[in-house]
Structure formats: structure tokens, C-alpha cells
């Protein structure tokens, strides 16, 4: 498996990029002359289907690459499903069998705020690297923050936690593994995050506090077509 092939498989299976995006970003082809055919040939070679896009979404980059290197050993359609069954995501494995008892999702989020922040920072490194610079129009800064866009990080985490709790006479027992699994998976939605430099991240926060109109004006300058 060549480096280009591994790159294409990583950004397809983890980051969920289209074959057109992959041709442009990973193979360096001119998007005007490419419709994603080159990347699609690589996916076909390893018997991957369109339904396999983001199959490794919740896995960390290193583990995703280890799994990708095993795909040729199985060499059949559905290999990625077999490998997922055999490999739990390492980035949340420490939560397996762990529960936390508290009185609300608000309390749980405050206790685990550092955990939720750090896991997202590491989780989006592949996407951050492939974009390469601030998504605010005209800005070429390369030191980027991962910015939640549609919903805040606490909102997403609390929504996940609410699905996996057991009422114990006024206190709630939260399944941490299932909560973090769902929390990461919830970031699959389009435009759940964007990547901005510190300056434009701060300005995004200022616009959010001002008004919906100010926020709409600001986000018009965030480029999504990468």
C-alpha cells in the first residue's frame, strides 16, 4: 500500500472526504480536470464502498491507520466492518465499564469539561491538517483552533449523556463509554466544526454574543469549499 493510497483511505474512512476532495488535497490533481476518478480507483482496489465513508470516524488517526494497513490482509467487501468489530476505538477505551453518578447533565459536563475539550482537539487533527489554514476568507494563518459551529461542545456532550443515563432515586448514573462514543459520532454532521485562527475564533464568539444577524454576517465569510 503506497503513501498516497493510505492517505486517500484515511481521509475517506475517517474524515469523510469526497473522492473529488481527495483528488485535490491528497493526490494534488487539478479539480477542474478531475471528478474524483483517481481516488475512486484506489477505493475500488481495496473493495471499499461509498457506504464505508466515515466508517472510522470515531477512531483516532494512529489507530485508523493501523486498521487501514490491515485491509489488504482481508481483501474482501466488508473488510472494514470486520476490522471495526475486532478493534474498539482506543481514544475512548479508558471509559469502557466506567460510570459516573451525579444529579444532571450540567453537572456531568462540568466534571468532564477538560476531557471533552481534549478529545475533540486530538480527534480533528486530520481535518485540521488537510485544510491547512484558517477558513475565514482571505486569512492564511496556520495555527488553528477547532471551533464548534452549529452547537457548542457542552451542548453536544449533554445531549449525548442524556441518552445513556439511569435514574437512581433523583441521581443519574451515566455510562461514560456510550456517552463519549455518541459524543464523537455526533460530530459527523456537516459543518459541526470549523477551523479558525485564534483571532477569527474570538471574533466568531463576539458575533455569537451580539445577535443572530451579526453571526449570519460573520459566517458568510467562512469558506467551506475546501
pLDDT of residue 143: 92
Cell of 212: 443572530
pLDDT greater than 70 at residue 181: yes
CA pair distance 93, 198, nearest whole angstrom: 31
Using one digit for the tens of pLDDT, what is the confidence trace for 185-204? 998 877 788 899 999 999 99
Neighbours of 208 (CB within 10 A): 14
Overall residue count recorded for the chain in this entry: 226
pLDDT greater than 70 at residue 35: no
12-23 as b/e: b if 16+ CB within 10 A: bbbbbbebbbbb
For 204, residues 6+ apart whose C-beta sits below 8 A from its C-beta are 147, 196, 218, 219
Average pLDDT (55-73) is: 91
CA pair distance 72, 84, nearest whole angstrom: 15
CA pair distance 208, 47, nearest whole angstrom: 44
| Mean pLDDT over each residue of the chain, to the nearest integer | 88
CA pair distance 74, 86, nearest whole angstrom: 12
pLDDT of residue 138: 92
Cell of 42: 484506489
Q: What residue segments make up the domains of the chain, in order of their start?
A: 3-87, 93-219
pLDDT of residue 52: 93
Using one digit for the tens of pLDDT, what is the confidence trace for 10-31? 888 987 888 887 877 655 555 5
pLDDT greater than 60 at residue 226: no
Q: Which of 11-15, 33-37, 137-141, 190-194 has the lowest mean pLDDT?
A: 33-37
pLDDT of residue 22: 80
**Residue 161's Cα: distance from chain center in Å?**
18
Q: Is the model more confident about 109 or about 169?
A: 109
The arrangement of strands across the sheet holding 99-102 comes to 99-102, 171-175, 165-168
Amino acid at each position: 500500500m503506497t503513501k498516497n493510497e493510505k492517505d486517500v483511505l484515511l481521509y475517506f474512512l475517517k474524515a469523510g472526504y469526497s473522492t473529488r476532495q481527495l483528488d485535490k488535497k491528497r493526490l494534488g490533481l487539478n479539480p477542474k480536470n478531475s471528478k474524483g476518478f483517481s481516488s475512486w480507483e484506489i477505493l475500488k482496489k481495496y473493495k471499499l464502498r461509498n457506504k464505508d465513508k466515515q466508517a472510522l470516524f470515531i477512531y483516532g488517526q494512529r489507530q485508523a491507520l493501523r486498521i487501514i494497513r490491515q485491509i489488504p490482509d482481508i481483501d474482501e467487501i466488508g473488510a472494514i466492518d470486520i476490522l471495526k468489530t475486532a478493534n474498539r476505538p482506543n481514544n475512548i477505551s479508558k471509559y469502557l465499564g466506567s460510570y459516573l453518578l451525579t444529579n444532571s447533565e450540567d453537572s456531568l459536563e462540568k466534571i468532564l469539561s477538560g476531557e471533552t475539550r481534549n478529545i475533540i482537539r486530538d480527534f480533528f487533527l486530520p481535518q485540521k491538517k488537510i485544510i491547512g489554514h484558517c477558513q475565514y476568507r482571505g486569512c492564511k494563518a496556520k495555527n488553528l483552533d477547532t471551533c464548534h459551529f452549529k452547537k457548542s461542545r457542552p451542548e453536544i456532550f449533554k445531549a449525548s449523556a442524556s441518552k445513556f443515563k439511569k435514574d437512581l432515586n433523583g441521581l443519574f448514573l451515566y455510562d461514560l463509554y456510550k456517552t463519549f462514543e455518541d459524543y464523537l459520532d455526533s460530530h459527523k454532521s456537516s459543518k459541526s466544526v470549523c477551523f479558525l485562527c485564534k483571532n477569527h475564533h474570538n471574533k466568531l464568539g463576539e458575533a455569537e454574543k451580539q445577535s443572530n444577524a451579526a453571526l449570519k454576517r460573520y459566517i458568510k465569510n467562512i469558506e467551506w469549499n475546501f
